[in-house]
Amino acid sequence: MIILIAERVTEMNLAEKSIENVEYMIEQIKEKLKVLNLGAIKPSHFDEEMYEELKEIYDMVQRKNSFSPNEMQALVEELGSLRKK
């Protein structure tokens, strides 16, 4: 029962642009990529202006089970290019 409640809480409507969704996607990407330097990618570095691009990265990361070092580097660089200026 508790597990089901926890799963419902984490469901997000990612079709809506919001700061909460940006934060959720960044945290999920970091977790899936097993980012070691957690301070390098923070939700506060991103905003809703790049939402579509961030959502594309999130979707791609969620579809894959593993990443080569080159793929991880490319993803981190792409996230870096989406950071707020």
Per residue in 40-75, pLDDT tens?
Answer: 778 888 888 889 999 999 999 999 988 898 998 898
Output the pLDDT for position 45: 87
Domain range annotation of the chain: 2-82
Closest CA to 28 of 70, 51, 58, 69: 58
Start-to-end Cα distance in the chain: 44
Which tokens belong to 65? 């089970």
pTM: predicted TM-score of the whole model, two decimal places: 0.76
Closest CA to 46 of 12, 15, 82: 82
